[in-house]
Structure 1
Amino acid sequence: MDEKLYQDYVNILREELVPAMGCTEPIAIAYAAALAGKTLGTVPEKLDVCVSGNIIKNVKSVIVPNTGDMHGIEAAAAAGALLGDADRELEVLSVIRAEDISALRRYMEEAEICVSRAETDRVFEIRLTAFSGTHSAGVFITDHHTNVVEIRKDQQIIFRADPEAEQNAGKTDHSVLTIEHIVEFAEAADLKDVSETLERQIACNTAIAREGLDHPYGARIGQILLDAGGDGVQNQAKAWAAAGSDARMSGCDMPVVINSGSGNQGITVTLPVVKYAEHLQVSHEKLLRALIIANLTAIRLKAGIGCLSAYCGATTAGCGAAAGITYLYGGGLREISHTIVNTLAINSGVVCDGAKASCAAKIASSIEAGLLGMHMFQRGSEFRSGDGIVTKGVENTIDNIGDLARNGMAGTDREIIDIMLSRCPRMD
């Protein structure tokens, strides 16, 4: 592997595997509000929040952490503007204390907070403007959660990203990822280059999963899986990942190390690999190399789909986890490639109807599909080119999934958002 490609892979892991507290879409709104308030220099009297439909979809039903169990765009924006620390980015609300909640509730009653749906082709867009007296401050975020492309105060632009940085969302180009090179990188990587990132992922995501198993968060999917299915490693893999999502979707303030902009996806690529590494009693080095494969496979899949879509991201993360587990069993490029293709043939098309308690169940389903895909190839069975959207070559099948999710499901995405907003009021 040449030096530039090697460094690109290291950079992708460092850029994508970052800590976040709470569901990342409301946290992105809180971050924009905190940044606007910081630019304004005072607590805003009014907030105008204009966001794309997919942001609305993913904020509607999750609890915003450290807000006293409040949910929705208004709560996220108010918490960020009044109490958030913009310098902490996706941990912007981590500074809020329990004694701050009453002040937050008063602020939401007194401040004017206006929310609207953006008329945009972008799936990820936040335009937030804060007002105080005759002054205003605006923040524009696109494409991913911390990609600030413009900040203005009153009529003056004080920051604007250059066009190339905006197009790439400030990140390393993900088109360099291939399954062949991912496996090569995982096997050859100097772990000193990635161990800090991966160790943080293991620690954070294991901790929130334990929290989800120990307490009755959400629909208690993780707890129910263990109660109904026992302590076998396959059930443990599903239950621990689901439990992390149980806690996260219900406002737990513990950080998660994300993957592809999503805490649920970060949890899904991590916990099954950790549980299988414990079961197989492999070395810690082997676990870290398996997590490289799991994470980069999920990122490769998500790169063609886009940050937000109608295609459930847990399915790509479950596929990544299965690729990592295949490596733990001694699999190489051939075995990992077939596991990926089998998995994509099984579970593709699960829709994303926003972040909420049922994400934990979708995570369990996605991990189940990934493990079935692995077990199929271990036993000499596989899906072949022409079986639906499966085609010859793992990269070509991945590209088909990207086209399906990005292009084919665009109308599905619009319909999901319309249904959620017009027919599905929250029942608190």
Structure 2
Amino acid sequence: MDKEASPALGCTEPMMFALAGAITRKHAPGKVLRVDMVGCGLMVTGVQAVGIPNTGGKTGAFLASAVGIVNGDAEACKEVLHNIRPEDVVAAEELIQNAEFTLDMDNSTGKQVYFKLTLTTDEHVATVIFEDEHHTWTYLEADGKVLVDNRKPAGEMLIPANDIDWDVFTIENIYNWCKTADISEFGRAKEAVEMNTKVATDGLENPRGIQTARILRKNVESGFVAEDEITHVLMWGTAGPDARMGGSDYPTMVSTASGNQGLMVVMAPWASAQYRKMSAEDGYRAVAFALLMNTFMKYASKEYVYMPPTCSCATTAAPAAAAGVAFLHGLTPQQINDMLCTAQVQMAGVVCDGAKPSCATRMYVALFGSLQAMMMAKEGIRATNVEGFVHNDLKVTLENLYRLQHDVLHNKVDAILWDIVKEQKVIH
């Protein structure tokens, strides 16, 4: 849990672009002439529509990299944007006008996360390459001198699941640990609740993103939607993604490199515990269970753990969040297995078309469906192994869906998406 839950400021794509800008700027002072960027499909599309923290909700690859160059804190890594001021945004926009910025897609590396930025000034040239994870740079060069080179051969993937003992990392063992471990073990869950509550509150109090949660609350207040536990869970589960996609200035506790996933898997079970007036300890245990179940399902996707062709917010985070609610409702490990299999078949094949404000609405739909799967499991009803991708065991179901990603969707969805982005002339 500690490995895959960590703080980050802003969506991972603009964060990475800004971090690349900040790193190269340290090695290339002088007047900026060019900023050339290339990345895999979901990197170059995902950066287009999400708000950049501390910019007033502004968007785009050019601005994200430019604010990193102007005043990004490379030492802060995933919180590189923490000290961006209004005057930095103005300077970054002037930089975009006065220098040449380019962006293109490259899927040839086979990496699910790949990004390269070259900064050229009137005095120096610096290049940084990120691979496998949004905050991990594996190559750094300045004026032709290689400073760092930890690149892996093309096609060699980062697969954290290879280090997992799947006989130990099971739903039942995760469940039992979250039920019985000493409360002192749940410090990261407590930190996640404190951090992500601020982001979700931002999404409810301010018109961030697509305002999924605010609109839901408005309709509760008008009497159109019932004020019940499911509505409470949906509202708090989506308020954070609204805020984050809209450029919230608050850091987020991420889950498997995704802030949106971290927000939903933390806030949905916490909202359930709060609604039912359960203890903070009960809430922290449920949050930990949801975080670990998201990791369980993401790890089963092998090399797609951090950037899959399918939408993990819908296919893993929403079911994991609902599993945290189920944990509070007393469902057994077998019932949770069953509900997660049903939740998987609901969203199987939903592709990732880049980070964007409407991610929050998709997550709303997926969380609602996952809560329905929970209610079905309580009654002994589930999707069975004669229904599409589903197997009676969740792990096998996830392996079936991995085949869909690897054999059908890999490097195809994002290539089509990039063509659409270019056709619509929205690259910025």
TM-score with structure 1 length normalisation?
A: 0.90
Identity, % of aligned pairs? 28
Tell whether the 8 Å contact from 2:254 to 2:262 is kept in structure 1 after alignment: yes
* Correspondence 1:347 to 2:347: yes
Name the counterpart of 1:113: 101
Q: Which amino acid aligns with 2:124?
A: H
C-alpha distance in structure 2 between counterparts of 1:15 and 1:41, whole Å: 35
C-alpha distance in structure 2 between counterparts of 1:213 and 1:416, whole Å: 34
Name the counterpart of 1:277: 273
For structure 1, the residue ranges without an aligned partner over 5 or more in a row are: 1-12
Which has the higher mean CA deviation after the structures are superposed, 278-287 or 354-363? 278-287
C-alpha distance in structure 1 between counterparts of 2:107 and 2:152, whole Å: 21
> What whole-Å deviation, never above 9, does each CA across 1:270-291 have from its counterpart, x for those lacking one?
1110111112332222222211
Tell whether the 8 Å contact from 2:186 to 2:285 is kept in structure 1 after alignment: no
> What whole-Å deviation, never above 9, does each CA across 1:96-139 have from its counterpart, x for those lacking one?
11232222222222222222222422231111112223422211
Name the counterpart of 2:238: 242
Tell whether the 8 Å contact from 1:339 to 1:374 is kept in structure 2 after alignment: yes
* Correspondence 1:54 to 2:54: no
RMSD after superposition: 2.4
Tell whether the 8 Å contact from 2:338 to 2:392 is kept in structure 1 after alignment: no
Deviation, structure 1 residue 94: 1.0
Tell whether the 8 Å contact from 1:182 to 1:293 is kept in structure 2 after alignment: yes
Tell whether the 8 Å contact from 1:83 to 1:96 is kept in structure 2 after alignment: yes
From the superposition, tell whether residues 26 and 406 of structure 1 become closer, same or farther in structure 2 (CA, over 3 Å). farther
* Correspondence 1:298 to 2:290: no
* Correspondence 1:212 to 2:211: no
From 255, 258, 263, give the equivalent of 1:262.
258
Deviation, structure 1 residue 416: 4.2
Q: Which amino acid aligns with 1:70?
A: K
From 94, 109, 126, give the equivalent of 1:137.
126
Deviation, structure 1 residue 418: 3.8
C-alpha distance in structure 1 between counterparts of 2:62 and 2:197, whole Å: 31
Residue aligned with 1:17, SS: coil
Deviation, structure 1 residue 308: 1.9
Name the counterpart of 2:229: 233
Deviation, structure 1 residue 75: 0.8
Tell whether the 8 Å contact from 1:326 to 1:339 is kept in structure 2 after alignment: no
* Correspondence 1:161 to 2:164: no
Residue aligned with 1:14, SS: coil
* Correspondence 1:178 to 2:170: yes
C-alpha distance in structure 1 between counterparts of 2:157 and 2:175, whole Å: 25
From 76, 83, 100, give the equivalent of 1:88.
76
Q: Which amino acid aligns with 1:216?
A: P
Name the counterpart of 2:114: 125
Q: Which amino acid aligns with 1:186?
A: C
> What whole-Å deviation, never above 9, does each CA across 1:302-324 have from its counterpart, x for those lacking one?
22331223311112101101111
C-alpha distance in structure 2 between counterparts of 1:168 and 1:146, whole Å: 16
Tell whether the 8 Å contact from 1:14 to 1:194 is kept in structure 2 after alignment: no
Residue aligned with 1:96, SS: coil
From the superposition, tell whether residues 169 and 159 of structure 1 become closer, same or farther in structure 2 (CA, over 3 Å). farther
From the superposition, tell whether residues 29 and 77 of structure 1 become closer, same or farther in structure 2 (CA, over 3 Å). same
TM-score with structure 2 length normalisation?
A: 0.90
C-alpha distance in structure 2 between counterparts of 1:405 and 1:349, whole Å: 8
From the superposition, tell whether residues 238 and 78 of structure 1 become closer, same or farther in structure 2 (CA, over 3 Å). same
Residue aligned with 1:20, SS: strand
Name the counterpart of 2:222: none
Which has the higher mean CA deviation after the structures are superposed, 186-195 or 244-253? 186-195
Tell whether the 8 Å contact from 1:52 to 1:125 is kept in structure 2 after alignment: yes
> What whole-Å deviation, never above 9, does each CA across 1:57-89 have from its counterpart, x for those lacking one?
211212222234432111111111111001111
Tell whether the 8 Å contact from 1:85 to 1:95 is kept in structure 2 after alignment: yes
Deviation, structure 1 residue 382: 1.4
Name the counterpart of 1:187: 179
Deviation, structure 1 residue 400: 1.4
Alignment of 1:320-331 (within 5 A): 320-331=320-331
* Correspondence 1:100 to 2:88: yes
C-alpha distance in structure 2 between counterparts of 1:303 and 1:87, whole Å: 28
C-alpha distance in structure 2 between counterparts of 1:162 and 1:26, whole Å: 22
From the superposition, tell whether residues 379 and 171 of structure 1 become closer, same or farther in structure 2 (CA, over 3 Å). closer
Q: Which amino acid aligns with 2:312?
A: G
> What whole-Å deviation, never above 9, does each CA across 1:191-228 have from its counterpart, x for those lacking one?
43441x22221112111111111122222211111223
